[in-house]
A and B are shown apart, each in its own frame.
Chain A
Amino acid sequence: MSVLLIAEHNNKELRPFTLNASTAASQIDNDVHAVIIGHNCDEAAKALSELPLVKKVIQVEAAHYENFVAENFAPVIVKLAENYSHVISSANTFGKNLMPRIAAALDTSQISDIIKVIAPDTFLRPIYAGNAFATVKSKDAKKCVTIRPTSFDPCESSGGSAPIEKADPGEEFVKTKFIKREEVKSDRPELGTARVVVSGGRGMQSGDNFKLITSLADKLNAAIGASRAAVDAGYISNDHQVGQTGKVVVPDLYIAVGISGAIQHLAGMKESKVIVAINKDGEAPIFSVADYGLEADLFEAVPQFLEELNKLNTIQK
């Protein structure tokens, strides 16, 4: 049977992780159908129909779908799921919030946050914040799976022309009301998806010194991260925390400045493609995962780093 992909969008455009989830869905079965639930979301539905991997789009429209409330979305998908072997979405806050509600209604044990499709019923997923990898096999007839977006490449976004079918909306769940959404408007990339992350640790010694991290991040168009120690010491707010109890990041380049490399921090960044560590303690555990280690006083090294970057003709964005 076919795979049902839940599209994530803002009623105008698809959210980028829909492309990664499409790739994952197509690795389970070629026959990928995508459902888009929203309000005045024709444009996003059209974009969805243009993904070459998507064979059919199901569009469900109603005013109460405008803000993606899981209590409204879940019954629609549960009803559609009758015709599918798998229901797939991204394991970001959208999918994490929604999928278990669907799985429970289908009496299915969900498989969260997979990083690889081994077989249509068998998946690889990190546990203990990536400190172990589990191969798991679902025995349920219907499978609900969320995928880690950064582990699957985004699919092509044009060239397809899948038919768009309309399906009937469900009733509104009146006990939950959306009030507002405050999107963080920042020129800086988001920590979870940034190509480059610059993080500071307790070695920064003060919140004020974090401006060194900020300058380096500005130069590299990077997100700013921090170790738990730096957050606990009050140098920076906890939404910057990288680690087992914070965010797990997998950028192309991770620069750890004044971070010793506690287990709980390593769990959040050691899958990064290239890791740089700058620390004056040559024995710090961070060096055991760093591709490039620089044993130096960060207060000298970071300004030099900025100078060297200034000498470059181009810096990748």
Chain B
Amino acid sequence: MKILVAVKRVIDYNVQIRVKEDNTGVVTDNVKMSTNPPDDNAIEEAVKIKEAGKATEVVAVSIGEEKAQETVRKALAVGADRGILVKTDGVIEPLAVSKLLQKIVEKEKPDLVFMGKQAIDDDCNQTGQMLSALLNWPQATFASKIEIKDSKLEVTREIDEGLETIEINVPAIVTCDLRLNEPRYASLPNIMKAKKKPIEQLNASDLGVDITPRIEQVKVEEPPKRKAGIKVTSVAELVQKLKNEAKVI
């Protein structure tokens, strides 16, 4: 079994997001970037499956600017065997990403494609489902448990009402939830080893996919600022304010 894992480079989740003064986007210059958190879960799961002897190869792929290579490299450092970077400039929408991934899938012929359920930058939550539609493969989104049973997967999904279990045939797409596993940290020797692992570089323009954005970003603004309220001096005052002023209890 071969597993392809898609990883995205995003602003680190601990960074305070700042909107650009000209309202064209958010500030990304000199800002710490990391792997999209649920993509770390996707890599971890693929590596665990390989360690359990149920997969033969884990390939990490990222789509983005040159620097997304660091994200692929990190995936290699936690156990992926080799990497692919599809270079693009500017904004790339999930529909375009899924079309590029479709091309990579056609070339690599993986049995499974894993990725995070959602990227924490654009919060779209689309790419996995779109890719599975384009390939006409089964999809298991928001996965919190994956069991491999021959050529089938039993996946537990996190849904609003609780948990849902489905069985899907391979080949399939799985989008990973944060509760799927505990991503490991890369050890120093593995970081060194990862430097020697190959990363194939491709240009999005060479893959024959129209990636022109279909959505115009008119403007990006700060959310309405919440002004700090008051400090109360006692619990009695707090309860009185909640009851009579805010009227919420």
Q: Do A and B come from one complex?
A: yes
Contact check, B129 vs A128: say whether CB atoms are below 8 A apart.
Answer: no
Contact check, B178 vs A238: say whether CB atoms are below 8 A apart.
Answer: yes
Which residues of chain A have C-beta atoms less than 8 A from B246's C-beta?
253, 274, 291-292
Which residues of chain B have C-beta atoms less than 8 A from A140's C-beta?
214-215
Which residues of chain A have C-beta atoms less than 8 A from B19's C-beta?
132
Contact check, A132 vs B221: say whether CB atoms are below 8 A apart.
Answer: yes
Min CB distance, A256 to chain B, in Å? Answer: 13
- Chain B residues 82-96 with CB under 8 Å of chain A are 93-96
Contact check, B94 vs A109: say whether CB atoms are below 8 A apart.
Answer: yes
Contact check, B142 vs A93: say whether CB atoms are below 8 A apart.
Answer: yes
Contact check, B230 vs A293: say whether CB atoms are below 8 A apart.
Answer: yes
- Chain B residues 216-249 with CB under 8 Å of chain A are 216-223, 226, 228-232, 234-236, 238-239, 241-243, 246, 248-249
B62 CB–A CB distance under 8 Å: no
Q: A101-B130, A264-B14 are in contact. List 5 more A-B contacts (CB 8 A).
A: A100-B127, A109-B96, A112-B125, A112-B126, A182-B163
C-alpha gap A295/B134 in the complex (Å)? 55
B66 CB–A CB distance under 8 Å: no
Which of B16, B17, B163, B231 makes the CB contact (< 8 A) with A181? B163
Contact check, B37 vs A245: say whether CB atoms are below 8 A apart.
Answer: yes
Contact check, B123 vs A315: say whether CB atoms are below 8 A apart.
Answer: no
Contact check, A180 vs B242: say whether CB atoms are below 8 A apart.
Answer: no
Min CB distance, A176 to chain B, in Å? Answer: 4
A196 CB–B CB distance under 8 Å: yes
C-alpha gap A252/B94 in the complex (Å)? 33
- Chain B residues 122-171 with CB under 8 Å of chain A are 122-134, 137-139, 141-142, 154, 157-169
A210 CB–B CB distance under 8 Å: no
Contact check, B231 vs A293: say whether CB atoms are below 8 A apart.
Answer: yes
Contact check, A107 vs B95: say whether CB atoms are below 8 A apart.
Answer: yes
B200 CB–A CB distance under 8 Å: no
B198 CB–A CB distance under 8 Å: no
**Stretch in A28-36, A55-63, A66-74 touching the partner:** A66-74
Contact with B along A103-114 (1 / 0, CB 8 A): 111011111110
B185 CB–A CB distance under 8 Å: no
Contact check, B229 vs A316: say whether CB atoms are below 8 A apart.
Answer: no
Which residues of chain A have C-beta atoms less than 8 A from B178's C-beta?
238, 245-246
C-alpha gap A129/B15 in the complex (Å)? 12
Contact check, A292 vs B95: say whether CB atoms are below 8 A apart.
Answer: no
Min CB distance, B26 to chain A, in Å? Answer: 6
C-alpha gap A180/B167 in the complex (Å)? 10
- Chain A residues 177-199 with CB under 8 Å of chain B are 177-184, 190, 192, 196
- Chain A residues 260-303 with CB under 8 Å of chain B are 262-264, 270-271, 273-276, 282, 287-296, 301
Which chain B residue has the least Cβ–Cβ distance from A254?
B248
Min CB distance, A115 to chain B, in Å? Answer: 10
Total interface residues on A, using CB and 8 Å?
Answer: 93
C-alpha gap A275/B229 in the complex (Å)? 9
- Chain B residues 68-101 with CB under 8 Å of chain A are 93-96, 98
8 smallest beta-carbon distances between A and B, as pairs: A291-B229, A100-B129, A109-B214, A104-B130, A131-B17, A104-B133, A100-B126, A304-B235
Min CB distance, A149 to chain B, in Å? Answer: 10
Which chain A residue has the least Cβ–Cβ distance from B19?
A132
Min CB distance, B163 to chain A, in Å? Answer: 5
With A135-B218, A139-B216: A178-B166 Cβ-Cβ less than 8 Å: yes
Which residues of chain B have C-beta atoms less than 8 A from A80's C-beta?
none
B51 CB–A CB distance under 8 Å: no
With A132-B19, A270-B226: A305-B37 Cβ-Cβ less than 8 Å: no
C-alpha gap A132/B236 in the complex (Å)? 36
Q: Which of A177, A253, A291, A294 has most chain B Cβ within 10 Å?
A: A291
Which of B158, B179, B214, B241 makes the CB contact (< 8 A) with A138? B214
C-alpha gap A262/B102 in the complex (Å)? 38
With A74-B133, A139-B216, A309-B239: A184-B229 Cβ-Cβ less than 8 Å: no
Which of B13, B128, B220, B249 makes the CB contact (< 8 A) with A220? B249
Which chain A residue has the least Cβ–Cβ distance from B125?
A96
Contact check, A315 vs B249: say whether CB atoms are below 8 A apart.
Answer: yes
Min CB distance, B244 to chain A, in Å? Answer: 11
Which residues of chain B have C-beta atoms less than 8 A from A244's C-beta?
13, 120
C-alpha gap A316/B244 in the complex (Å)? 12
Contact check, A104 vs B248: say whether CB atoms are below 8 A apart.
Answer: no
